[in-house]
Every structure is written in structure tokens, then in C-alpha cells.
Structure 1
Amino acid sequence: MNLRLIGIGAGVLIILSLPLAGAIAGPDLAGQDDGKSGGLFTSLGLSEPARTSSVPVGRPAEPAGTGRSGPAEQPRTDARCGPEVSSPYGVEAQTCVMATESQTWGRSYYRNTSGQALDAVLTVMGPAGRTVQIRCSVGAGDEPGLCETPKEDSAGGLESYSAVAEFAVPDDEGKLLLRSGSNSPAPADG
């Protein structure tokens, strides 16, 4: 009888843990395309953001009324992104300023198909001359990636910050291949 009770208890525990495991695992990206036709955000499993968007970070959206409990709500994250730009050398990127109520940071999504490893320098400029800069190694290949500065305490609203990412060949001359900004104008059609 004790074995039967233990077996039933284990089965109930497994059934109850499945929704939690799904919430921790995040969205299922297996059914999406390979990202070669949908742009950089699609290949990262993200939807294309508007010029300014608000998304909760780290948690997929749930339909209303599911009654499912999961991890605590993440703070609201706002993003101000420039357009997705590309160079004839095989580098494409989109750079954003990210912010929560209390912190601001820069993020650049990129893909490097140039055939060589590159250096990226991401700089976030804020009010009162505040600047944060980070250098990221960008491997050769078609895999998308991101470069992100550390989060800093905000000193103003999202509109008072801008970010610029520069992708260059890592040698003495440092040939610049692409510059992407959070407040760059959208490319003209034509």
C-alpha cells in the first residue's frame, strides 16, 4: 500500500511540475524559420520592435485568464531602437537603448557574415556627459548575437540617452565596417 501511495504522489508531483517547467524553459523556437529571410530580430526569436516599445524581459506573454502562476513579474523594460542597418561587408546590426524604471543600458543585436572575426564597441551616452562603453568580440559566422553594456542607474528618461555600436576589423588600422545607432534615422526607401 505504501508503494501505491508513493507512486500516486510522484505522478501528481510530475503533472503539477510540467507548467512550471514550461514557464522556465521559455518560448518554443523550434517551429520558427531559420532567420535568413526574416531579419535579425526574427533569427533571435524576437519580434521586430517598433521605434519605441515596451516588453517584459525574460518572460513570454501569457494569454489573459490562463490562471497560471509562474515566476515573479519582471520589471517593465522600454527600448528605443534605431533601424536595422547592414554593410556591403556582411555585417548587420540594430542598436537600442534599454531602460527600466531605475536602470539604463545599451544593446546591439548583430550578425556577422563577413568571414572574419570583428571587434564591436558599444557606447551609451547619457545626460551630464555620462558615458558607458564596452568592447565585444564578434565571431565569424552567420549566428546572430548581441553586445550589451552593463546596467547603470538612470539619470534621466529614455529619450535623454543614445547608443552607438561600431563594428571594425581587429587590426592596427581598425577598418570600420558598420556603425549602428539607437537614434539613427530610418533608411530612405528607393
Structure 2
Amino acid sequence: MQRTSGGHGASTPSRGGADPRRVRLVALVGVVAAALALPLAVASAGSVRDGRRTGPPGAARTDDRPPAPAPSGSPRLLGLGPATAARCGPELTSPEGVEAQTCVMTQGDRTWARTYYRNATGTGLRSLLSLMGPGGRTVQAHCAVGAEDDPEVCETPRERTAGAADAYTAVAEFANGSGADAPLLLRSGSNSPS
């Protein structure tokens, strides 16, 4: 025999057991909570690189700078192929407002130079990026530097690595004007002292 309370037709659990509807409701709430918490936990975990968080996968990085340098020797494999190693000089800024950081990049058997720059001068500039390797080998790239104040990247062509990756040096020069006597605003190197 069932008893009702308050005249609303609600039944009390039978003696010695829990109400099956309540058990199902609690289980359903637990499943929904777990389904909502799992993606949030994954998104907030992010990844750690060089002891600092880089944020959740796919999130925009606030420091759009080169990857952490790899130890000398052959590049690590990340399961998808050879990793890219970067050997970079410090970030430099000229009094006129040119910012740059220059790196030697190595991936597998390829090496190239890359410079990250920003032109806050308000005028277009001329830039020359050089990669110097063993045996006096040099590869150069001329980069058009617009007057916009946006972060940009310039790279030399990727060449087959000849010798050790640490035998390469990269230098980027930013000048105001197009002639050979144009004033040099900034020189940024991959091995510049910090």
C-alpha cells in the first residue's frame, strides 16, 4: 500500500529502497555534468612549452614568435616528421621604431633564415635577409617592408643543410630608402648578444 503526502499524488519510496525515478535523475545529471566538464578541462589545460602555458589547442598565441630552440644535433621527431629547430638572436628595436628578431631555422636536412619584424616608422623600408653557411655560402632574400604597423615575417629560400646547423648565421638589415647609401635603421642577427 502506498501513501501520499500533501495531496499531490507523490508517492513515497517503498520500504528499504530508493525511488527509481530519483536514481535515474541523479545519474542523468551526473552524465550531463561530466559531458560538460570534460571539454572545459581539456580546453583549459592547454599545453606546456619551455615551462610556460601556450593555451588551449587552436587558440591564438599572444607571443607570435619562433618555436623554442631544439637541442643541438639532429632535430627531434614529433610523430609527423622532423621538428623545426630555431636558433634566434634577441628581439631588437631601433630608435626609429623598427623591431626585429632573426633566426636560423632547421627542419630535417633543410636550413633557412627567418626574421620576424614590425615597422612602426610610418614609411616603407627596404630589408635584406642573409643566411651565411659553411664554406662562404650565402643565400639572400629582399623583403618589401610596408608602412603598416603589423607583425610580419621574411624568409630566405630553404637550402639543403651543409654541415652542422650551428655553423649557420642569419642577419637582417632594415634601411630607409632604396639606394646603397640609404641609412641603416636596424641590423638584427641570429647570434647577436642579448
Q: What interval of TM-score do these two structures reach, taking the shorter chain for normalisation? A: 0.5 to 0.7
Larger radius of gyration: 2
Measured in 2, the distance between the counterparts of 1:157 and 1:81 equals 16
State the structure with bigger RCO (CA 8 A, min sep 6), 1 or 2: 1
2:122 to 115, 125, 141: 115
Which segments of structure 1 move beyond 4 Å, counting only runs of 4 or more?
A: none
Matched, 1:154 2:185: no
Measured in 1, the distance between the counterparts of 2:163 and 2:106 equals 10
Paired residue for 2:58? 27
Paired residue for 2:9? none
**Shift in Å at residue 157 of structure 1?**
1.4
Which amino acid counterpart does residue 113 of structure 1 have in structure 2?
Answer: A
Secondary structure class of the residue paired with 1:159: helix
1:140 to 137, 144, 147: 147
Which amino acid counterpart does residue 165 of structure 1 have in structure 2?
Answer: A
Q: Summarize deviations over 1:75-102 as a string: whole Å, max 9, x none.
A: 2111100000000000000000000220
2:70 to 53, 71, 80: 53
1:182 to 158, 172, 190: 190
**Shift in Å at residue 49 of structure 1?**
5.1
Which amino acid counterpart does residue 59 of structure 2 have in structure 1?
Answer: D
RMSD: 2.0
Task: From the superposition, tell whether residues 83 and 49 of structure 1 become closer, same or farther in structure 2 (CA, over 3 Å).
Answer: farther
Which amino acid counterpart does residue 184 of structure 1 have in structure 2?
Answer: S
| Count of aligned pairs between the two proteins | 131
The two structures have a TM-score, normalised by structure 2, of: 0.62
Measured in 2, the distance between the counterparts of 1:119 and 1:104 equals 24
The two structures have a TM-score, normalised by structure 1, of: 0.64
Q: Summarize deviations over 1:49-71 as a string: whole Å, max 9, x none.
A: 55x337xxxxxx9xxxxxxxxxx
Secondary structure class of the residue paired with 1:99: strand
Paired residue for 1:95? 102
Runs of 5+ unmatched residues, structure 1: 1-25, 34-41, 55-60, 62-71
CA contact (8 A) 2:126 2:178 kept: no
CA contact (8 A) 1:118 1:140 kept: yes
**Shift in Å at residue 119 of structure 1?**
1.0
Which amino acid counterpart does residue 184 of structure 2 have in structure 1?
Answer: L
Which amino acid counterpart does residue 101 of structure 1 have in structure 2?
Answer: G
Task: From the superposition, tell whether residues 128 and 83 of structure 1 become closer, same or farther in structure 2 (CA, over 3 Å).
Answer: same
Which amino acid counterpart does residue 143 of structure 1 have in structure 2?
Answer: D
Measured in 1, the distance between the counterparts of 2:113 and 2:178 equals 25
